[in-house]
Amino acid sequence: MENQNLPAWKKALTESYPKFQALNPDRAKAELGFAMSLFQSNEQLQKCNPQSILNSVVSVARTSITLNPVMKLAYLIPRKGQCILEFSYMGLVAMLRDNGCIRTLSAHIVFEDEKFEHNIAENKITHIPTYANSEQEHNKRKVIGCYSRATLPTGDVSYEFMPMWEIEKVKSMSVGSGSKYSAWNTWKDEMIKKSVIKRHFKLLISTDTTEALHTALQIENDNNQLTNSFTKTNKRNLMTGFIDLEDDIKEQPTLFIDNELEPVKDEKIVPMDMSDKQLDDMMNLEANKITEEEQMVFKQDYSIKPKIKDDIKDKELDDLFNSKKKE
C-alpha cells in the first residue's frame, strides 16, 4: 500500500527488501537496519541515485558480507552521486576465509630501513621489521612496498608483493585520491594493505570461485575503475541482474570476458507484505539495535566479534507484521 511520500533513498531501501529477502532471508531485516542507520547519518548518501542504492544493498546479499559498522567489513559510500558498496581489506579477508579459500591472510608494509628479501623462485619472503618511536617518525619513513601472506587450507603459504610504484599507480586510479579527506591520506597504511590484498584476492579465488566471491571481485573492480578500453564489451553488467525483468535492460560493459559470470538466476521475489510505513518502522527498529555498548566493546578488544542480532524477538516488530492483516 503506497501510503507514504517517502524520500527517494528510503523508497530505494524499501524496494530492496524483497529482493534481499529472496537472496538471503535470514539477514534481510538486520542488514536493512544497518543500511538505514548509515543513510540516516549521511546526507550525501541520501542524495545518491536510487537505483544505485538498491543495487548496492542487494549486492550485500549476493556477497554475504555484512554492513554491521562494528565489524568494519563493508560500507555504503557516496561517489559522484552513486551509492557504492565498498569492501574494507578486512572484508576481503573475511570473504576468502568464510568461503574456505584460506586459513589466514595478513598484509605487511615494508619500509626502506628494514631487512627484506623476496625469493620468487622459492616462494619465500624474509622480513625483519623495525618500528618507529612515534607517529610523526613513522610517517616520515619511506615505503618500498607491501606484501600479503596467505595460509591455504592445505597448509601451503602463498605470497603476493607489490612495490610502491605499483601501489601509487593504484592510488592514482582511485576517485578522489587527491583530496586531503581521501582515505589514501587519512588511512594511508590501510589503503596500501588493501591494494596488495585485493591483488592477492584475485589469485586466491581463481581455482575455486564461488558465486559470492566472483560477485565481490566484479563489484570491487567496477567500483575502482580497473577496466580499460580492451576489456569493454556489449555484455550485461552485474548490476543489470537487479533490474526487474519487465524493465528495459541497457547493455553495459562487463569485466569478465574469458571467464564470465554465470547468468543471474531468476529469483522468486517475495511479495511485499508490509506497507512503506511498516517497512520504514522495521528498518528503524533494526537500526536502533546498533548500540553504544557494542561500539565500546569493539574498541576495547578488536578480537571480540560482537553478536549480530539476527533474531527479531521484539513484540513491537511482531505487531508490525501482523498489523497488515487488520487493515
- Residue 256: the pLDDT is 25
Q: Is the pLDDT of residue 3 over 50?
A: no
Asked whether the beta carbons of 238 and 218 are under 8 A apart, the reply is yes
**Mean pLDDT across the chain, nearest whole number?**
75
Asked if pLDDT for residue 204 goes beyond 80, the answer is yes
State if pTM tops 0.85.
no
What pLDDT sits at residue 29?
92
Q: Is the pLDDT of residue 289 over 90?
A: no
Task: Give how far Cα 181 sits from Cα of 85, 177, 187, Å.
Answer: 19, 8, 10
Q: Is the pLDDT at 16 greater than 70, yes or no?
A: yes
The span from the CA of 49 to the CA of 53, in Å, is 7
pLDDT digits over 119-133, tens only?
999 989 999 999 999
Average pLDDT for 183-202: 88
Range with the poorest average pLDDT among 84-88, 154-158, 174-178, 320-324: 320-324
For the residues 268-290, what does the mean pLDDT come to?
Answer: 64
208 falls in which pLDDT band (50, 70, 90)? low
Provide the grid cell at 94. Answer: 573475511
pLDDT at residue 274 greater than cutoff 70: no
Position 4 confidence tier, pLDDT thresholds 50, 70, 90: low
The better pLDDT of the pair 298, 290 is held by 290
Question: Is the pLDDT score of 309 beyond 60?
Answer: no
pLDDT in the model for residue 291: 52
The string of pLDDT tens digits covering residues 85-113 is 999 889 999 999 988 899 999 999 999 99
